Structure 1
């Protein structure tokens, strides 16, 4: 999980960095950059949906950090709201490439960057083996996870 979460943080940081047109140095057009940026958002959204459908319910039986009313689920909602703004901006820029503005796109990323990164880091800490053992998650519980 730590590697996956580092990958999300890195991908959003890369989109932020390349937003000023630096993407051209890597052979991407604006259209290609916007497509890449959307793929990152879709991947994070799918990751969260999988966690909520398949992982959190198993862990929530003994680990309160993953209950339906937990901070993790609340964080997913905050991040999802940010992804909605992010995708809306990508929709606008894709429909009218002349409207693309790096500062605006970076502001959208900045609007949810901190809660996203804090959440990704906290989730990794809550999934560390020592934390899982402390919360009573058993090997049998882990075997029920879909991976």
Structure 2
């Protein structure tokens, strides 16, 4: 490694940055305004992720308890699951086409062969199973069985939750400032 680069270790993952030459401990403290600029993407992403977590929890709670939420019909419950699948797929598509390519210019975690996009692939294997199952239930090809729903959700739940947290952490102010200037952050596509 040359003198123009350094390694940052985050929970066992290595991220290399060929632009900056110091780690976060050597960087000056951010003002409140600078922090808001650097943390904007993390806050925006966490807003979406919170909605995904909330919907997941409604679905998963029903799957583990064996009871749909009070006042929610089977049709509404299935529609909620389908919306979850659709919205998460759309969210990942936007990230992969518009956000990650920009971030990948300086941040290894957003490159195609590494962790975050690998998560997307694993999540979508489970999402496709979930979507197919809910569609089959919707059209009466199979009966909705909450224990079966739980099995499908368990097949990708751990990687989904890990991913939701990891993405926000990568986009946090203290990490973003290692790679991007304030002006670059203000031009980010999100």
Matching of residue 58 in structure 1 with residue 105 in structure 2 = no
For the 8 Å contact 2:68–2:77, the answer to whether it is kept is no
- Counterparts of 1:1-147 in structure 2, within 5 Å, are 1-19=45-63, 20-23=66-69, 25=70, 27-96=71-140, 99-134=143-178, 136-147=179-190
Structure 2 unaligned blocks of 5 or more: 1-44
Deviations 1:86-139 (A, max 9, x none): 0011011112176111100111111110000001101111000110112x1233
Larger radius of gyration: 2
Quote the RMSD (CA, aligned, Å): 1.6
Q: Once structures 1 and 2 are overlaid, which stretch shifts more, 109-118 or 61-70?
A: 61-70
For the 8 Å contact 1:54–1:145, the answer to whether it is kept is no
CA distance in 2, matches of 1:18, 1:120: 21
Aligned residue pairs: how many? 144
TM-score (normalised: structure 2): 0.71
Q: Which has the higher strand share?
A: 2
TM-score (normalised: structure 1): 0.90
Q: Provide runs of 4+ in structure 1 moved above 3 Å.
A: none
What is the SS of the residue equivalent to 1:77? helix
Q: CA deviation at 1:54?
A: 0.8
